[in-house]
């Protein structure tokens, strides 16, 4: 009949592995939470940057449209220059 006992070195190795996994669990959970927060923060900064770039494009288009309107203002055809006053010495 075979011996039904397990080598004590094997049980110690399995126990140490289980303790190691259980000990590292909370640290890994916190690390995952910190990484999620960092990712969310970077996405927020990227979104703000994209929004600012979009607003700059809108501003540029608005300024271009206003310049076009100013340039299309009709000037009087016979606009006489302002008279130059005579200087008597």
Region 1-5: mean pLDDT is: 68
Region 45-60: mean pLDDT is: 97
Average pLDDT over the chain, rounded to an integer? 88
Cα 34 to Cα 25, 40, 64, 82, distances in angstroms = 14, 10, 45, 72
Enumerate the domain spans of the chain. 9-72
Q: What pTM was computed for the model?
A: 0.53
- Cα 69-62-74 angle, rounded to 5 deg: 5
* pLDDT higher than 60, residue 10: yes
pLDDT tens digit sequence for 55-79: 999 999 999 999 999 888 877 666 6
Region 43-53: mean pLDDT is: 97
């Amino acid at each position: 009949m075979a011996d039904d006992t397990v080598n004590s070195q094997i049980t110690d190795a399995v126990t140490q592995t289980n303790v190691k996994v259980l000990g590292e669990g909370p640290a890994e959970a916190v690390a995952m939470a910190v990484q999620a927060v960092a990712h969310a923060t970077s996405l927020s900064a990227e979104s703000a940057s994209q929004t600012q770039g979009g607003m700059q494009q809108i501003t540029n288009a608005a300024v271009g449209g206003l310049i076009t309107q100013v340039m299309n203002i009709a000037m009087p055809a016979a606009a006489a220059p302002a008279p130059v006053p005579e200087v008597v010495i």
